[in-house]
Structure 1
Amino acid sequence: DLVVVPGGFSYGDYLRSGSIARFSTVMKAVKTYADNGGKVLGICNGFQILTEAGLLPGALKRNNNLHFISKHQNLCVINNDNAFLNQCNKGEVLNIPIAHADGNYYIDDTGFEKLEENGQILLRYSDEKGNPVVVNGSVTSIAGVCNEAKNVFGLMPHPERALEAILGSVDGTKMLKGFEA
């Protein structure tokens, strides 16, 4: 089973992306589900909601250029020892669409060290060779993270928009297949 918290500008994002949605009555059940080992995936606004709700470390803030970004973007797989990316190879470059104005991932130095120690950094924005690139100002180009237990996942890119070649990429299929097991 998998709970997906999708994108979609929940509650209008008037204060801060995901800040009001985290108080939704369903979030208590999502937290309980995650605390009991259930898998949770937050995509774009869903990622913002999961950070605001405390299910994932860090925060998402306005892109450093203060503009909405919408394009296909290369991502480098940093850690694949989790259900989400277990069908991908470490260091593999995937092409996945992004579409956000508040996708600048931030975490303090202590939190960042913990992410690295625990293998919680899943994806980084990259060029076609896997070298990190600055897309929105995210700390070390982070595009996706997981919790310490590796059952809650969040990313700004949209794998659900990369499932058919006619859409420009099928790399999202590979990402999501890990949840089938």
Structure 2
Amino acid sequence: MKSAVVVFPGLNRDRDMIAAIEKIGGTPPAIVWHKDAELPDVDLIVIPGGFSYGDALRPGAIAARSPIMDVIRERAERGVKVLGVCNGFQILTEAGMLPGVLMRNASLRFVCREIKLKVANANTAFSNRYADGQIIRCPIAHHDGNYFADAETLQSIEDNGQVVFRYAEGTNPNGSLNDIAGITNAAGNVLGLMPHPENLIEPEHGGEDGRGIFAGLLT
């Protein structure tokens, strides 16, 4: 499977993401700069985490208006898979590609630790290497991961099975409604995820719990 990683100024997890994709998929991804107006022909587009534009205005707000986002939106509408992790999730919501918003953590503090995730929907391209209800470990590192949506939107994504991952066993680090950690669009080909699965893919990381997300996409 061919993939591309989109890089914005201020991101700091792009190298981790590139390494994870190459280790699991066997092929390095194409690297695309945010001001580019073209994307290679790929099956997966990844927006990694960090602090694009220093989180000016709101996290992801400026990046969501970069030229490459129009291309990503068009590819997603054609069914190409898109994965946004942490700041990538924020960018996807700011771009209108995913419902809801990511607000300041309820503690108003940056959190960086390991949490537990429950697989809420294993019937997606991003989660099919796991079982429904499976609990996995995953690192987090964010200041604005508090997922919020109005009552109607929240009910819709719950009814449609768009919630793919939830914080589990009392480890919700940010106050997200319904313990939401990751959601898809209605079509199921765009996933936004706050935790960082790319940082738990091999024994040297302390475990391989995050590997399944990439394995389902790349192998």
Q: Which of 1 and 2 has greater Rg?
A: 2
Alignment-mate amino acid for residue 17 of structure 1: P
Alignment-mate amino acid for residue 177 of structure 2: V
Q: Which residue among 158, 165, 171 is the counterpart of 1:116?
A: 158
Alignment-mate amino acid for residue 182 of structure 2: G
The 3-state SS of whatever aligns with 1:137 is: coil
Q: Which residue among 113, 119, 134 is the counterpart of 1:71?
A: 113
**What is the CA distance between 1:166 and its match in structure 2?**
2.1
Tell me the distance in 1 between the aligned counterparts of 2:136 and 2:53: 31
Instruction: Tell me, yes or no, if structure 1 residue 104 matches structure 2 residue 142.
Output: no
Tell me the distance in 2 between the aligned counterparts of 1:33 and 1:141: 29
In structure 2, the partner of 1:179 is 217
Number of residue pairs matched? 177
Runs of 4 or more above 3 Å deviation? none
8 Å Cα contact 2:115/2:172 also seen in 1: no
The 3-state SS of whatever aligns with 2:173 is: coil
Task: Output one character per residue of 1:62-96: Cα deviation in whole Å (capped at 9) or x when no partner.
Answer: 00000000011100000011100011000000101
8 Å Cα contact 2:116/2:171 also seen in 1: no
TM-score by length of 1: 0.95
In structure 2, the partner of 1:13 is 55
* Cα 1:96–1:133 shift into 2, 3 Å: closer
In structure 1, the partner of 2:20 is none
Task: Output one character per residue of 1:20-44: Cα deviation in whole Å (capped at 9) or x when no partner.
Answer: 1001110000000001111000000
Instruction: Tell me, yes or no, if structure 1 residue 164 matches structure 2 residue 206.
Output: no
8 Å Cα contact 1:62/1:102 also seen in 2: yes
In structure 1, the partner of 2:87 is 45
Alignment-mate amino acid for residue 60 of structure 2: G
**What is the CA distance between 1:133 and its match in structure 2?**
4.3
8 Å Cα contact 1:122/1:146 also seen in 2: yes
Q: Percent identity?
A: 49
Tell me the distance in 2 between the aligned counterparts of 1:179 and 1:134: 26
Tell me the distance in 1 between the aligned counterparts of 2:196 and 2:173: 15
Q: Which runs of 5+ in 1 are unaligned?
A: none
In structure 1, the partner of 2:168 is 126
8 Å Cα contact 2:115/2:171 also seen in 1: no
Higher RCO (CA 8 Å, separation ≥ 6 residues): 1
TM-score by length of 2: 0.79
Q: Which runs of 5+ in 2 are unaligned?
A: 1-42
Alignment-mate amino acid for residue 55 of structure 1: M
In structure 1, the partner of 2:66 is 24
8 Å Cα contact 1:43/1:156 also seen in 2: yes
The 3-state SS of whatever aligns with 2:122 is: coil
The 3-state SS of whatever aligns with 1:3 is: strand
In structure 2, the partner of 1:152 is 190
Instruction: Tell me, yes or no, if structure 1 residue 82 matches structure 2 residue 124.
Output: yes
8 Å Cα contact 2:103/2:146 also seen in 1: yes
